[in-house]
Structure 1
C-alpha cells in the first residue's frame, strides 16, 4: 500500500487542476457556437450577441466531451469503488464481530466506515447537484423540440452552484479533522486568537495553514 506523501498529494492536486483547466477552457479554444452564429446571421457588425449559455456553448461539447467524457465515467467509477469499500468494511466487521475480544480492529473498521460514509455523502451530493443540469443538456442536444420549463433550468443551475457551498459543511460536520481545522482557521485568522504551535498540530493541517491560507486571505 502506498503512503500518501506531500509530494503525491501535491501531484494529485496539480493533475486535478490541469484537467479542470483543459475541460473548462476548451470552449475558448474553439469548441463553441461562434461559427454557427456567424452562419445564421445572429451576430451584428460589433460581434454582439445575446449572452445566453445555450447560444454560445456547444451542446456537443457539454454532452459528449464534458458529461460523457469527464463527469459520468468518474462518477460511475467512484460508485463502483465505494460499493467495493463498503462491502470490504462490512465483511471485516462481520468477521471481527464473532471474536468479542478483538476490540481494536472493530474500532478501526468502524472509524473507516464512518469516513467512507462521509465521502460517499459528498459523492451523492455531487451527483444530485450536477446530474439535473447535464440531463437537461442531453435533452437540448438529442431533443431540440422538447419543451424545458424555465424554472427547472434555474433550479438545476442553482443546484450546481450550491454544491460548492455544501461540501465544506459536510466535511465540517462529518469529519472531525476537517471540523478541527476549520475551527482553528476561524479562531486564528478571523477571531485573532492564539492557536497551538504548528509542531503540536497534525502535519497536514499545519502545512495547509502555513502554506495556503495566508495566500487565500491576501486576495
Structure 2
C-alpha cells in the first residue's frame, strides 16, 4: 500500500478537520432549507398544473435535501475527530449515505436533460411515453442504482482500506482506485451524453427557428410555436444546471484521475477537503437556479411567502383583538348618537346641522 494512503488521516486530522466540519454543518443547513422550500413550491405546482417533467425536478430537490441531511453526519464526525474515533462500519455507512443521494442527484439531472431532449426531438412520441407509470418506474430504478453505487464499498471488502485508524475520511476507509474508477465510469459518460443532447437540440432549435420565420410570413397564428418555446425555456434552465454541475464536480473527478495515474502525487487531502466540498455545493446551487430562473417556481415561492406573511401578523397581534373589538363598539355607539343629533334641530337649516356618522375614528 502506498505511504500516502496511510498518511491521509494525518493530513486531515486536527484543526482543519474541525473547521471543515463546521463548514459542512452550515452548508448542510442551507442545502436542506433551500431544497425543502423549492420542493414545497414544486408540490404546489404539480398539484395545480400537473406534468411529469416537474416530478423529475422534485426528485432532484429531494435528493439534494438528502445530501444535506447526510452531510450533517459527516460534519459531526469531523468536529469530533480529535476526541472520538469512528468505527469502520459506521464510517462506511456515513460515506454511503452521502454518496447515494449525490449519485441520485447526478442521475436525476441526466433524466431531466433526457426528458427535455425527447420532448423536443420526438414530441409526438413524448406524449405517448410520458405517463405516471413511466415516471414512477424510472425514479425507482434511479434510486436503486444510486443505493447500489453508494453502498458498494460497504458490500465489497476489496474496495475497503485494510488499515483503518479510526479517523473517518473518504479515502481513509475506501480504496481510492476502486471508488474513483466507479465514479469516473459514471461521471464522464453522463457528461458526454449531456454534451450530445445539447448539440443535437441546438441543431433542432436552429432549424425550427428558420421554419418559424418562414411560416410567420404566411400565417400569424401558430399554436405549436409557444409549446416549442416553452420546451426551449425549460431546456435553458437544464443547461444552466448542467453547466453548474460540470463546474462543481469536474475538478473533483479530474484531480482524482490524476491521483490514480500519478502514485507519487499526494492530492488526497485536496480531493477530500476542497474539491469534494466544491462538488457538494452543487446541491445548494440546484434549488437556487430553479428559484431564480424558472418563472413557475418563482410564482409558487411568492405564493408560499405571501401565505406566511398573512399568517405571521395574525398570530403576532392576536392579543390586540379585544382592544380592536372594544373600539369598534365605541365607534358604533358614537355613530348612532350622531344620527340622532339632527332630530333636535328641525327648526333650523337641516343641511347645515346634519352630521354624518363617521366610518372610522
Question: TM-score normalised to the size of structure 1?
Answer: 0.71
1:5 aligns with 2:131: yes
1:8/1:192 Cα in 2 relative to 1: closer, same or farther (>3 Å)? farther
Local SS of the residue matching 1:144? coil
Structure 1 residue ranges, 4+ long, deviating more than 6 angstroms after superposition? none
Q: Distance in 1 between matches of 2:278 and 2:248?
A: 5
Match of 2:211 in 1: 95
Q: Distance in 2 between matches of 1:94 and 1:174?
A: 26
Instruction: Please identify which structure carries the higher helix content.
Output: 2
Match of 1:143 in 2: 262
Tell me how far 1:166 sits from its aligned partner: 0.7
Tell me how far 1:33 sits from its aligned partner: 3.0
Local SS of the residue matching 1:169? helix
Match of 2:188 in 1: 72
User: What do you get for the CA RMSD once the two structures are aligned?
Assistant: 2.5
Tell me how far 1:150 sits from its aligned partner: 5.4
Tell me how far 1:27 sits from its aligned partner: 0.9
1:180 aligns with 2:307: no
Match of 2:13 in 1: none
**Residues 13-34 of structure 1 deviation map (CA, whole Å, 9 limit, x = unaligned):** 2111111101011111124333
Match of 1:34 in 2: 161
Aligned residues: 181
Question: TM-score normalised to the size of structure 2?
Answer: 0.45
**Residues 31-60 of structure 1 deviation map (CA, whole Å, 9 limit, x = unaligned):** 43333x2xxxxx5xxxx4332322212222
Tell me how far 1:141 sits from its aligned partner: 1.2
Match of 1:52 in 2: 169
Larger Rg: 2
1:128/1:87 Cα in 2 relative to 1: closer, same or farther (>3 Å)? same
Tell me how far 1:125 sits from its aligned partner: 1.0
C-alpha contact 2:180 2:257 (8 A) present in aligned 1 = yes
Local SS of the residue matching 1:15? helix
Highest RCO, 1 vs 2 (Cα 8 Å, sep ≥ 6): 2
Match of 2:234 in 1: 115
Tell me how far 1:162 sits from its aligned partner: 0.9
Unaligned runs of 5+ in 1: 38-42, 194-219
Unaligned runs of 5+ in 2: 1-124, 312-361
